[in-house]
Amino acid sequence: METTTYPKAVIVIFGATGDLAKRKLYPSIHRLFNNNQIGDEFAVIGVARRPWTNDLFREKVKESIQTPITTDEEIDSFTSHFYYHPFDVTDKSSFQDLMSLMNDLDGQYRTEGNRMFYLAMAPEFFGTIAQNIQEYGLKETNGWTRLVIEKPFGHNFESAKKLNDELREAFDEKQIYRIDHYLGKEMVQNIEVIRFANAIFEHLWNNRFISNIQITSSELLGVEDRGKYYESSGALRDMVQNHMLQMVALLAMEPPIKLTTDEVRSEKVKALRSIRPLTKQSTFDHFVRGQYGKGEIEEEHVDGYREDPNVDSESNTETFVAGKIMIDNYRWAGVPFYIRTGKRMKEKLTKIVVEFKDLPMNLYNNGSGKKQTNLLVIHIQPDEGITLHLNAKQSDGTRTIIPIQLDYCNNCINGINTPEAYEKLIYDCMNGDATNFTHWDEVALSWQFVDTISKAWESQKAEFPNYTSGSMGPDDADKLLEKDGFNWW
C-alpha cells in the first residue's frame, strides 16, 4: 500500500491575534489539512501579547475557518493542533519558554525538528524576533528552520538593506521566505506555463511581434481603516515595488534552463536588472501619480482620500500610479511595459494585456476602417483565466472582419477549489520550495528602481486630488499611452 509523505513542522505564528493570521493564515492551514496536503504531524504555536488561553485561541481559529465544516469532531481534531503562548516579543526571556514548548510539541507531533517561524507582525519587530530566535537557540534543531516574512520589506532600499542585514545575522538567505502573495495566485503562477509550455506564444514573445504589455491592478476600496499606514506608504511602495514589478519580471524573463528555484529566480533577477533606470526627468515623463477625490462607487457617495480622519488634509500621498517601464535587452528593446494600479477605481480587477503588432499587410478591417488588434489577456483576479482576441470573417459576403474571443476560465472549472495564494505559499514553504518567494536580489533591484520615483515625487508637491473615485485614474494616465499611440485595454 502506498503511504503519503506529508510535510511536518511546528509552525510559530508571531502576531497570532492579528488580522492577517485570522483572515489568511488559519483558513489556509485548515484547507491544507482538509485537502489532505498536511497530515497530523504539525502543530501551530500562536504568539501575541493578549492573554488568551489555548481554548480561546482554538475557538478563534475555528471562527476564522471559511470552508464548510462537516462535523465538530473534524474541526476539533484540527484545532487541537493549535497552542497559544502569550508574550511580548521584546521580552527576551520568553523565547526560552517558547523553545521548551516547541521541543515538547516536536516530540508529541513527531515533526522531526522542523520549524517554521511566521512573522505576521509589523516589520519593526522582524530584527528583534530573528535575533532572539538565534540567541536562544530556537534554530538549533536536527530538522529544517525557515523564516517567513510579510511586506512591507523596508520603506526604501536603505531600510530594506538594514532589515535584511538584521535577518541575515540569524538566518541564511535560503532560510528566508519573503512573501509576495501575488506570487501565490493561480494565474500569476500560470504566466510561466502560458509562456513556456505554448509554442504559439513563446515564439512571438518579443519585440518583433508584441507592441506593448499592460498590467492593471485596480481596487474599488479606498484605504479603509489603514489610512495611517498608507500615509507613509502610498501606492508606489504598497503595490509597485513588489507585486507590479514581480509581474513585469515574470512576463519579461528569459525561459529558465530548469524549473528550479535558483534558475527561475536568476532569470527574474536578470529581467529586473534590464529595466532602464529612471532619472528625475524621465520619472515625470514616464510615471503618473494620482490621489482620489470624492465620487461615487456602486451608486453610493464616497469621500476623497484627504477626508479620511487618519490622513493629512493636505496629504501628498499617491493612491494611484501609472508608469511606463522600458526593458533594455535584446528581447524587449522598444516595447513599453505599462503598469497601472490604484484605489477607489471603477472596478476591482488585476489583468495583464499583451498587445500584438499588426500584420505588415493586413487587408481586412472591421468596417470602420480600424484594425482589430490581437490581444492576449491574462485575468488574475477576480476572474482567473485567459482570453485571446482574434479576428474572424463576418458572414455577410463582405470583407469585413469581426472580433472574436477565445476564453479559458480557470475558476469557472475549479470553482471554490482554486487554492488561496497563502495556502500554496505555506505549503511550498513547508516543502522547502522557495520559487514563489522573493529573493533579496529582487527586493533590492525593485527598491532601487522605485526609490528614484519617490525621490522625484517628493521634490514636487502634486496637484491632488486629481481623479474621481469610481474612475480609472487621472487623465494623465491615459495620455501616457496616447503619446505612444496606444490606449489602455
The region of 114-122, 290-298, 345-353, 474-482 touching ligand NAP under the rule CB under 6 A is: 114-122
Q: Does 49 bind ligand NAP (CB under 6 A)?
A: yes
Beta bridge partners of 334: none
Member of 53, 67, 80, 90 binding ligand NAP (CB under 6 A): 90
50 belongs to the binding site for ligand NAP (CB under 6 A)? yes
CB of 386 to ligand NAP, least distance (A): 27
Candidates 7, 8, 11, 15; binder of ligand NAP (CB under 6 A) is 15
Q: State which of positions 120-149 bind ligand NAP (CB under 6 A).
A: 120-123
Angle at 33 between CA 27 and CA 37, to 5 degrees: 120
Binding mask 216-245 for ligand NAP (x = CB under 6 A): ------------------------------
Which is nearer to ligand NAP, 113 or 152 (by Cβ)? 152
Grid cell digits, residue 79: 484545532
**56 near ligand NAP, judged by CB under 6 A:** no
Contact 452, 277 (CB under 8 A): yes
Nearest approach, Cβ of 392 to ligand NAP (angstroms)? Answer: 43
End-to-end CA distance of the chain: 54
CB of 278 to ligand NAP, least distance (A): 26
Residue found by looking up cell 485537502 in the block:
35
- Residue 181, annotated ligand binder? yes
Distances in Å between the alpha carbon of 216 and those of 115, 243, 244, 299, 473? 37, 11, 9, 23, 11
Of 16-24, 327-335, 356-364, 432-440, which part binds ligand NAP (CB under 6 A)?
Answer: 16-24
**Shortest separation between residue 30's beta carbon and ligand NAP, angstroms:** 17
Question: Helix, strand or coil for residue 126?
Answer: helix
Run of H or E including 197: none
Calpha distance 230→102 (Å, rounded): 36
Phi and psi for 269 in degrees, rounded to 5? Answer: -60, -40
Among the residue ranges 17-25, 215-223, 307-315, 479-487, the one whose residues contact ligand NAP (CB under 6 A): 17-25
**Helix H or strand E segment including 157:** helix 157-170
Extended beta strands in 345-425, E state = 349-356, 375-381, 385-393, 401-409
Q: Which residue is nearest to ligand NAP (CB)?
A: 18
113 belongs to the binding site for ligand NAP (CB under 6 A): no
89 binds ligand NAP (CB under 6 A): yes
Residue 320 Ramachandran class (φ > 0 left, ψ -120 to 50 alpha, else beta): beta
Name every residue whose Cβ is closer than 8 Å to that of residue 277 and which is 6 or more positions away in sequence.
448, 449, 452
Q: Which residues of 237-258 are buried (b: 16+ CB within 10 A; e: fewer)?
A: bbbbbbbbbbbbbbbbbbebee
Name which of 174, 88, 165, 190 is nearest 129 in CA terms: 88
Number of residues counted as binding ligand NAP (CB under 6 A) = 21
Say whether residue 167 binds ligand NAP (CB under 6 A): no
Nearer to ligand NAP, 212 or 350 (CB): 350
Known binding residue 393? Answer is no
Active site residues: 243
- 19 is a contact residue toward ligand NAP (CB under 6 A): yes
Tell which one of 88, 135, 172, 224 touches ligand NAP (CB under 6 A).
88
Is 18 annotated to bind a ligand? Reply is yes
Q: Answer yes or no: is 343 a known binding residue.
A: yes
Phi, psi of 124 (to 5 degrees): -65, -15
User: Which has the closest alpha carbon to 456: 240, 340, 287, 314?
Assistant: 287
Which residues define the annotated binding site for substrate?
Answer: 181, 185, 219, 238, 343, 348
Q: Which residues bind ligand NAP (CB under 6 A)?
A: 15-21, 23, 48-50, 88-90, 120-123, 150-152
Which residues define the annotated binding site for NADP(+)?
Answer: 15-22, 49, 88-89, 151
